[in-house]
């Protein structure tokens, strides 16, 4: 809504910085800004510079910890060097966190940590909940167990499979900055995680997450129940997981863990993004950042947007009869 509100007034050379840039933010930016987009700058950051919580909305925020690094990708206005925009961004943030340049915005979209940890932890904790109120709010990050870590890692594996397919289509398409969550913790919180030997240990020993609980409704008298409408699901699923799942569908990449988590999450949100048949064509797809919701519905459209040259379509002999009429090798054969 902010892009739409600003579009009528934006001037050439204006730089938009989005932090954290939820997945597919550049798709949305280009769609809304239209012909103006090439003359505008766009910077996408993979996370907030701080671990923080709003105290008085729009007025005060409690900063729990400053991150050591923030990944950022820049699409500068025509005629402007990306280095200039990185320098401006670093000057705004100060000495810390340090801006780590990413090669493309897709790296930010695929590497966004919130879309992995927030739905992953929520699903892991509440998938078998019996509906009864709890006496106290359970810890969010510090409550992660081995099963939780396996789900979070599984989502990362699915995203890495997407990266692999993009590199297969174009060896020059750089996804090297798309980190797993374990890698993210060991870089962004290297001094705050007391133990980074495993993902689970990194999550539960991160001092920046001390005291952070699951979003809950209720009080000490009536007990606490999970708030599934909190941003951990209501934002990170449609604006994160849905982008990745839609991208995977266009690239024909299987995402078993994302599918499992998404089906559960969309049920809790009362939405349908992923159909029972496994397609990103649910009745609520329009409220997501899935490429399909932003007008990109074919593999060819996707690769053109990403400026990836499609692999030439060529005929191959049928394995049975040897005829070249039997099969076509496409740019997006199954992974």
Do residues 201 and 186 lie in contact, with contact meaning Cβ atoms separated by under 8 Å? no
Torsion angle of C-alpha atoms 27, 269, 154, 144, degrees rounded to 10: 120
Q: Residue 192 and residue 145: Cα distance in Å, rounded?
A: 19
First to last CA, the chain: 36
CB count within 10 Å of CB 221 equals 5
Strands 98-101, 69-75: pairing kind: parallel
φ, ψ for residue 159, nearest 5 deg:
-65, -40
Torsion angle of C-alpha atoms 115, 118, 200, 105, degrees rounded to 10: 20
Q: Which of 10, 15, 14, 30 is nearest to 74 (CA)?
A: 15
Q: Residue 189 and residue 51: Cα distance in Å, rounded?
A: 10
Q: Residue 12 and residue 265: Cα distance in Å, rounded?
A: 40
E strands along 19-59, which residues?
41-45, 50-56
Tell me the catalytic residues: 118
Q: Residue 308 and residue 171: Cα distance in Å, rounded?
A: 10
What is the number of residues in the chain? Answer: 335
């Amino acid at each position: 809504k902010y892009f739409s509100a600003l579009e009528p007034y934006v001037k050439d050379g204006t730089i938009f910085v989005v932090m954290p840039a939820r997945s597919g933010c550049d798709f949305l930016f280009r769609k809304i800004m239209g012909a103006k987009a090439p003359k505008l700058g766009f910077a996408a950051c993979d996370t907030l510079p701080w671990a923080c919580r709003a105290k008085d909305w729009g007025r005060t925020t409690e900063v729990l910890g400053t991150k050591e690094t923030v990944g950022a990708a820049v699409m500068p206005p025509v005629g402007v060097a990306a280095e200039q925009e990185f320098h401006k961004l670093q000057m705004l943030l100060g000495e810390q966190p340090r801006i780590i340049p990413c090669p493309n915005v897709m790296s930010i979209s695929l590497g966004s940590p919130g879309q992995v940890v927030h739905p992953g932890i929520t699903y892991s904790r509440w998938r078998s909940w019996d509906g009864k109120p709890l006496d106290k709010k359970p810890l969010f990050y510090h409550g992660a167990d081995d099963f939780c870590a396996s789900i979070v890692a599984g989502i990362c594996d699915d995203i890495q499979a997407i990266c692999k397919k993009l590199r297969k289509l174009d060896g020059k398409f750089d996804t090297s900055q798309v980190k797993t969550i374990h890698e993210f913790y060991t870089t962004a919180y290297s001094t705050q995680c007391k133990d980074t030997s495993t993902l689970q240990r990194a999550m539960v020993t991160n001092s920046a997450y001390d005291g952070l609980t699951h979003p809950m409704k209720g009080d000490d008298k009536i007990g606490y129940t999970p708030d599934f409408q909190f941003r951990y699901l209501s934002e990170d699923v449609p604006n994160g997981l849905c982008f990745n799942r839609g991208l995977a569908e266009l690239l024909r990449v299987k995402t078993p863990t994302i599918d499992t988590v998404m089906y559960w999450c969309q049920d809790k949100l009362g939405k349908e993004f992923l159909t029972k048949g496994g397609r990103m064509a649910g009745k609520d797809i329009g409220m997501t950042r899935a490429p399909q919701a932003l007008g990109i519905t074919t593999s060819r459209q996707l690769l053109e947007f990403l400026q990836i040259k499609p692999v030439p379509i060529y005929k191959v002999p049928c394995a049975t009869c040897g005829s070249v009429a039997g099969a076509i090798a496409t740019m997006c054969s199954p992974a």
